């Protein structure tokens, strides 16, 4: 009997999405999620079950510019991804995904409008189905063809020991904050703080005290059986020029982040920047190693997963083993 592993191909997907219309990454019954939409689109094209493993399970409303996932596809299904132009299977799959995802988006938009107006009880995107129903309403909503809120930027074959989650060395996020008059065109990706300026120098001083390897329980919503020990490699605030008021970009990079960790760190820095807490307060909260109501979770919509960093291919297996071993030792 042939080896089952030899009958599959591990494929990496580089993904970007606007998280506004999704209930997070992870598939959930009856809700439109990024994982659900992508898996359904892949299954529509390949005609086989597909399960994606992702680098970062983003929450509802969180965006991604550099998300990474992998899936094991049957070699037989991959072999069918050919066209008359002789393009490689990855290019063919990416092109077909663009079409399926665009139709799903138009259907979801139309269903959302119908649901809001009370003219339809069935939501086309509710079960993550790439159903074409309701596309007429999408046209009336001026949704252009070929547009989607999730885009697969690259599809490529990778070694079998690549793991989108455990092979990652680091994840990088940004969080956008602005002061001054709100811009309605940026309501989905910016936190409008108000008219009062934030003390950027104080925020950066406070951030320095959180860098390194620590138990970030005070800044996480812990999952049962999961470690909250993380290595925070970067946390700083950059003030961008142009526009009325302040335009701030908060950078965060770590080997991995606990649930709500980035948003809770941002919430702590905002309290320092507004003068509500002193510079040493975030560090004291970290040392207390318990979660209380003092730390506020910042809103999700200004957060973007920008990049996932991996070692060279020869280091995939070793990095994955290290990540799994650390989890086992800490739990």
Question: Do 63 and 181 belong together in one domain?
Answer: no
State the Cα–Cα distance between residues 213 and 305, nearest whole angstrom: 21
Residue 300 CA, chain-centre distance (Å), reads 11
Q: What's the pLDDT tens digit per position in 16-32?
A: 999 999 999 999 999 99
The pLDDT score that the predictor gives to residue 158 is 98
58: in domain: yes
Selected residue with higher pLDDT from 183 and 48 = 48
Task: Tell me the pLDDT band of 237, cut-offs 50, 70 and 90.
Answer: very high
CB 64 within 8 A of CB 304: yes
- Would you say residue 323 lies in a domain? no
Range of lowest pLDDT (5-9, 41-45, 174-178, 286-290): 5-9
CA separation, residue 52 to residues 43, 177, 240, 257, 285 (Å): 11, 32, 36, 19, 36
- State whether 299 and 186 are in the same domain: yes
90: Cβ–Cβ under 8 A, 6 or more apart, which residues?
11, 81, 154, 155, 156, 157
**Could you tell me which of 129, 86, 85 has the C-alpha nearest to residue 107?**
129
Q: What is the DSSP letter of 328?
A: H
Residue 5's pLDDT band, with cuts at 50, 70 and 90, is: low
- The answer to the question of residue 318 being in a domain is no
pLDDT higher than threshold 70 for residue 2: no
- What is the set of active-site residues? 59
Asked whether residue 183 falls in the same domain as residue 229, the answer is yes
CB 130 within 8 A of CB 107: yes
pLDDT for the residue numbered 260: 94
243 and 200 within one domain: yes
Binding site residue list for substrate: 173
pLDDT number for residue 273: 98
End of a domain among 130, 157, 184? 157
Judge if 55 and 174 occupy the same domain. no
The reply to whether 182 and 288 lie within a common domain is yes
Domain that holds residue 11: 5-157
One domain, residues 241 and 119: no
Which amino acids are annotated as binding site, given as ranges?
Answer: 173
Taking only the tens place, the pLDDT of each residue in 139-174 is 456 777 789 999 999 999 999 999 999 999 999 999
Does residue 229 lie in a domain region?
yes
Domain shared by 38 and 89, yes or no: yes
Residue 274 sits in a domain of what CATH number? 3.30.70.660
pLDDT value of position 38: 99
- Please, what is the Cα angle at 306 between 301 and 307, to 5 degrees? 150
Q: What is the pLDDT of residue 120?
A: 41
Overall domain count for the chain: 2
pLDDT digits (tens, 9 = 90+) for 89-128: 999 999 999 999 999 999 998 888 776 665 444 444 444 5
C-alpha to C-alpha distances, 269 to 13, 49, 222, 316, nearest whole angstrom: 33, 43, 20, 34
- 142 torsion bin: left (phi>0), alpha (psi -120 to 50), beta (else): left
> What is the pLDDT at residue 134?
43
* pLDDT tens column, 249-298: 999 999 999 999 999 999 999 999 999 999 999 999 999 998 877 789 99
Looking at the structure, tell me whether residues 95 and 188 fall in a common domain.
Answer: no
Quick one: 120 and 147 in the same domain? yes
Q: Are residues 27 and 135 in the same domain?
A: yes
């Amino acid at each position: 009997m042939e080896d089952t592993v030899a009958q599959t191909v591990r494929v990496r997907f580089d993904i970007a999405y606007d998280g506004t219309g999704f209930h997070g990454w992870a598939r959930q019954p009856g809700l439109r999620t990024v994982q659900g939409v992508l898996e359904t689109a892949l299954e529509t094209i390949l005609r086989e079950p597909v399960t994606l493993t992702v680098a970062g399970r983003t929450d509802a409303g969180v965006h991604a510019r550099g998300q990474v996932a992998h899936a094991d596809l049957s070699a037989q299904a991959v072999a069918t991804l050919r066209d008359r132009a002789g393009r490689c299977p990855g290019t063919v799959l990416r092109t077909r995904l663009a079409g399926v995802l665009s139709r799903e988006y138009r259907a979801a938009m139309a269903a959302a409008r119908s649901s809001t107006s009370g003219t339809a009880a069935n939501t086309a995107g509710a079960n993550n189905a790439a159903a074409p129903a309701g596309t007429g309403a999408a046209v009336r909503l001026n949704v252009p063809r070929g547009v989607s809120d999730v885009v697969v930027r690259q599809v490529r074959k990778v070694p079998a020991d690549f793991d989108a989650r455990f092979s990652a060395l680091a994840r990088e996020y940004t969080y956008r904050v602005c002061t001054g008059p709100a811009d309605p065109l940026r309501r989905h990706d910016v936190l409008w703080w108000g008219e009062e300026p934030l003390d950027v120098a104080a925020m950066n001083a406070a951030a320095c005290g959180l860098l390194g390897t620590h138990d970030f329980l005070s800044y996480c919503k812990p999952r049962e059986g999961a470690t909250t020990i993380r290595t925070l490699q970067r946390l700083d605030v950059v003030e961008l020029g142009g526009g009325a008021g302040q335009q701030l970009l908060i950078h965060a990079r770590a080997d991995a982040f606990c649930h709500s960790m980035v948003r809770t760190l941002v919430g702590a820095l905002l309290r320092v920047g507004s003068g509500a807490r002193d510079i040493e307060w975030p560090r004291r909260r970290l040392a207390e190693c318990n979660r209380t109501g003092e730390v506020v979770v910042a809103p999700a919509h200004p957060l973007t997963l920008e990049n996932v960093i991996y070692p060279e291919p020869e280091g995939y297996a070793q990095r994955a083993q290290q990540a799994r071993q650390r989890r086992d030792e800490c739990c």
